[in-house]
Amino acid sequence: MSDLPQLRLGVNIDHVATVRNARGGRHPDPVRAALAAIEAGADGITAHLREDRRHIRDDDMARLKAAISQPLNFEMAATPEMVEIALKTRPHACCLVPERREERTTEGGLDAAGQRAQLAPAVARLAEAGIRVSLFIAADPRQIEAAAALRAPVIEIHTGAWCDAAADGHAAEAAAEFARIRDAARLARRAGLEVHAGHGLDFGTAEAIAALPEVVELNIGHFLVGEAIFSGLGPAVRTMRAAMDKGRARA
Ligand code: PXP
């Protein structure tokens, strides 16, 4: 049995809002989903307020902050508009992500190395307000060095390429992507960064990545909301928690 602290599970409820917005109105309510996820063992709630408000909206963020007992992780682009909203909302954490209007989801990591000058003011203003800043980056040493230079205390490693390769049955590519994530997590810890991971995780990939002791938090959304259709959100979160604990025991 591992004596590491339990791996934290942040449940991303964006796609509950996607379903709500498909019809307009209030159902299903992402705040209700957040409360159900916490009841089932989520350690935090993640929500992404996109520039186009395609799923989470401004009042969802405010209602989430008011309603939940666990930390709120506010995902956002590092724009002046979003920084102002985050400063008003005062979440526990902000995860800065790249954003392109036409993308279906957050396709790649932030170019922290190429955009240091643009990111620095956002990181500094959020940190001054006591918000824990995380940068969503690829498993790339250049990006990790840039995150450390920007004095972001946390990185979230983009696991999308690994999860896609695993889901498509491309074993060699998946193994190479996993090794990249493992090496990046080690490098980031040596640089004093807290390491989170997310994007595209399911029960199997969450169990596998839970075995990396450097990783202390996973943020998982789309798969859990999809599973909730079949089992309900509470059971999906509990099964995810069990998969993560099983993987962690191997760390
Ligand atoms: N972490 C970050 C930074 C993300 O942008 C997303 C997607 O919004 C997730 C985690 C969750 O990814 P998924 O919905 O694929 O589980």
The pLDDT tens digits for 210-247 are 999 999 999 999 999 999 999 999 999 999 999 999 99
Whether 5 shows a pLDDT value over 90: the answer reads no
- Catalytic (active-site) positions: 48, 75, 199
Share above pLDDT 90 across residues of the chain, in percent, rounded to a whole number: 93
- Is the torsion defined by CA of 13, 148, 160, 76 positive or negative? positive
Q: Ligand 1 atom closest to Cα of 199?
A: 12
pLDDT of res. 100: 76
Whether 1 shows a pLDDT value over 60: the answer reads no
Q: How far is the CA of 159 from the centre of ligand 1 (A)?
A: 9
The whole-number average pLDDT for the span 111-119 is 94
pLDDT of res. 2: 60
CB 2 within 8 A of CB 247: no
Task: Find the largest Cα–Cα distance for the chain.
Answer: 48
pLDDT of res. 104: 72
- Write out pLDDT tens, residues 7-62: 999 999 999 999 999 999 999 999 999 999 999 999 999 999 999 999 999 999 99
Q: Ligand 1 atom closest to Cα of 10?
A: 10
The response to whether residue 200 sits with its C-beta less than 6 Å from ligand 1 reads yes
CATH number listed for the domain at residues 8-248: 3.20.20.70
* Residue of 104 and 6 predicted with greater confidence: 6
DSSP string spanning the chain? ---SPPPEEEEE-HHHHHHHHHH-SS-S-HHHHHHHHHHTT-SEEEEE--TT-SSS-HHHHHHHHHH-SSPEEEEE-S-HHHHHHHHHH--SEEEE----TT-SS--S---TTTTHHHHHHHHHHHHHTTPEEEEEE-S-HHHHHHHHHTT-SEEEEE-HHHHHHHHTT-HHHHHHHHHHHHHHHHHHHHTT-EEEEESS--HHHHHHHTT-TTEEEEEE-HHHHHHHHHH-HHHHHHHHHHHHHHHHTT-
pLDDT of res. 162: 98
Q: How far is the CA of 114 from the centre of ligand 1 (A)?
A: 22
DSSP string spanning 190-243? HTT-EEEEESS--HHHHHHHTT-TTEEEEEE-HHHHHHHHHH-HHHHHHHHHHH
Q: How far is the CA of 46 from the centre of ligand 1 (A)?
A: 9
pLDDT of res. 99: 85
Whether 202 shows a pLDDT value over 90: the answer reads yes
Whether 106 shows a pLDDT value over 80: the answer reads no
pLDDT of res. 101: 66
Q: Ligand 1 atom closest to Cα of 200?
A: 15
The response to whether residue 136 sits with its C-beta less than 6 Å from ligand 1 reads yes
pLDDT of res. 173: 98
Ligand 1 pocket test, candidate residues 19, 203, 222, 227, most atoms within 8 A of CB: 222
- Write out pLDDT tens, residues 133-192: 999 999 999 999 999 999 999 999 999 999 999 999 999 999 999 999 999 999 999 999
Average pLDDT, the chain: 96
Pairwise CA distance, residues 194 & 214, whole Å: 8
- Whole-prediction pTM value? 0.96
Contacts of 62 (CB under 8 A, 6+ apart): 89
Contacts of 7 (CB under 8 A, 6+ apart): 210, 215, 216, 217, 218, 244, 245, 247, 248
The response to whether residue 48 sits with its C-beta less than 6 Å from ligand 1 reads yes
- Protein residue closest via CA to atom 4 of ligand 1: 199
Per the structure block, which two tokens stand in for 233? 């959100």
Q: How far is the CA of 220 from the centre of ligand 1 (A)?
A: 6
Pairwise CA distance, residues 134 & 117, whole Å: 16
